Structure 1
Amino acid sequence: MTHTKMHADELTIPLSLVRRLVADQFPRWAHLPLEPVPSAGTDNAMYRLGDEMAVRLPRVPWAAGQVAREQRWLPRLAPHLPLAVPTPLALGRPAYGYPWHWSIYRWLPGENATRAPLADPAQAAIALAGFITALQGIDPTGGPRPGPGNSSRGVPLAARDAQVRAAIAALDGAFDADAVTAAWEAALRVPVWDGPPVWIHGDLQGGNLLVQDGQLCAVIDFGCLGVGDPACDLQVAWNFFAAEARAVFRASLAVDEATWARGRGWALSVGVIAYPYYRESNPVLAGIARHAIQEVLAEERLAR
């Protein structure tokens, strides 16, 4: 499988290295077939191990801390969630020049939602709203807060202002920069979250959702997991759903107007930053970003 590098400091993780790591540290699984899994993910490389497991290895330095986060918290959160999430089975160690810890998970059936059509987007919107509600209802005590070494998701939008404005300047005419700037500044005027922090996935978008038989069945990639502003997870309303399903999604959530508006700001923020960065190296992620920006701008036009 040919892989286009997305980051200057990204490691190349060949199949031979993964096979050696598995054989050395988990010899009981050394006989199982191992093959790369095509993915639009940006932080980790993934390989299927046999029929029932997946090997996931960070390929950039900032993803290295995700391993401990998922290993610790996913088993605690999973029993409270209405959709399947990854189950860690084993923790691998650095070896043979590979510098970070890595994980083996139970394989989750289903196809990525960027490729598999939904039988009923409105029903998927209800299911995802139920997942978010359940996640936010779990006791957040001890959960990772945004900050150095952790995901920046869930912070006040103003903390992303400089990065967003730099990304707007890099859009190179792909979108109306004045309209994007106006939408972003509108988001910055929304009152900040003043409630207690809640659990957030942090990166809810089609690439992190699985579909089976047309139904949403699982949420994956919890590398941005943490506690913070609940609006962060509402970004999926714009980066994944169209207007009709988005309305169903909102009706299924108990969120106030300010939280919904910050969610729109999150969708725009993540989309604007991701689009110029991944436009050449990751067409799937760039497409998700484009959809988010277009949906936000369409809503802004309708609101005038």
Structure 2
Amino acid sequence: MSDLVFDEEFVRSLLKEQHPDLADLELRLVDGGWDNQMWRLGEDLAVRLPRTERASALLEKEHRWLPALAPRLPLPVPVPVRRGEPSERFPETWIVTTWVAGEPADRAPIDRGPDAAEALAGFLAALHREAPGDAPSSPIRGVPLERLTAEVERRVQNAASGATLARMREVWDDAVAADAW
């Protein structure tokens, strides 16, 4: 599974197979996402389909943990409401979540005013709590950045060229050179 792309017919067929009550809702592709392809489903939902090797396991964690985290967070997060099970049609876990209106941070202007920084700080403070004993850990989160260089290089190579690629590498190199926590 390497950066799969799904079409509307396929997504609708998954819904018909496992969640037929949702299959007739409007369905439209949403731009963005690293590990999942996302489709807006009706007005209030989204379908997230894994397109990288690690994505299915991440979606399973989201399905388990986001409903518990969401009530204590000061900003909305996409809460899984349905789970798509692996099947002959698609051998991976996928989810249906609530839709969170807004623009992804990586697609929005960086200058959102002073409220944006305070909102982010409040969100991170609410999230930063001691995890329950059965909470999952990640081999790629909270690790020294240099361990992620090969993956970042692969991603930026596919996303940029020329001066933009050179600048992205410069920013990454600067981040890797920073003191470890």
Alpha carbons of structure 1 residues 163 and 123: separation in structure 2 relative to 1, 3 Å: closer
TM-score where L is the length of structure 2: 0.81
The answer to whether the 8 A contact 1:21-1:95 is kept is no
Q: 2:98 aligns with which of 103, 106, 112?
A: 106
Deviation per CA, 1:82-141: give whole Å up to 9, x if none: 111111110011234311010001111111223333430x33222212211111125432
Alpha carbons of structure 1 residues 79 and 35: separation in structure 2 relative to 1, 3 Å: same
Question: Which residue matches 1:20?
Answer: 13
Aligned length: 174
The answer to whether the 8 A contact 1:77-1:138 is kept is no
SS of match in other structure, 1:54: strand
- Work out the CA distance in 2 between the residues paired with 1:288 and 1:80: 38
The answer to whether the 8 A contact 2:14-2:89 is kept is no
Q: Which runs of 5+ in 2 are unaligned?
A: none
Question: Which residue matches 2:142?
Answer: 154
Deviation per CA, 1:145-176: give whole Å up to 9, x if none: 23xxxx42123x2xx65664xx5xxxxxxxxx
TM-score where L is the length of structure 1: 0.50
Question: Which residue matches 2:172?
Answer: 293
Question: Which residue matches 2:64?
Answer: 72
SS of match in other structure, 1:281: helix
Alpha carbons of structure 1 residues 136 and 15: separation in structure 2 relative to 1, 3 Å: same
Q: Which runs of 5+ in 1 are unaligned?
A: 1-7, 168-272
Q: Does 1:35 align with 2:23?
A: no
Cα deviation, residue 142, structure 1: 1.5
- Work out the CA distance in 1 between the residues paired with 2:175 and 2:34: 24
- Matched residue type, 2:142: G
Q: Which is higher, the Rg of structure 1 or of structure 2?
A: 1
- Work out the CA distance in 2 between the residues paired with 1:78 and 1:291: 36
- Matched residue type, 1:293: W
1:166-185 correspondence runs (5 A): 167=150
Q: 2:116 aligns with which of 110, 124, 141?
A: 124
- Matched residue type, 1:135: L
- Work out the CA distance in 2 between the residues paired with 1:114 and 1:287: 18
Could you say what the CA RMSD is over the residues aligned between the two structures, in angstroms? 2.9
Q: Does 1:278 align with 2:152?
A: no
1:1-304 correspondence runs (5 A): 9-39=2-32, 41-117=33-109, 118-120=111-113, 122-146=114-138, 151-155=139-143, 157=144, 161=146, 164=149, 167=150, 273-274=151-152, 276-283=153-160, 289-290=168-169, 292-293=171-172, 296=175
> Quick one: percent identity of the two aligned structures?
38
- Work out the CA distance in 1 between the residues paired with 2:167 and 2:62: 24
SS of match in other structure, 1:153: coil
- Work out the CA distance in 1 between the residues paired with 2:87 and 2:167: 35
- Matched residue type, 2:121: A
- Matched residue type, 1:29: L
- Matched residue type, 2:27: L
Cα deviation, residue 55, structure 1: 0.2
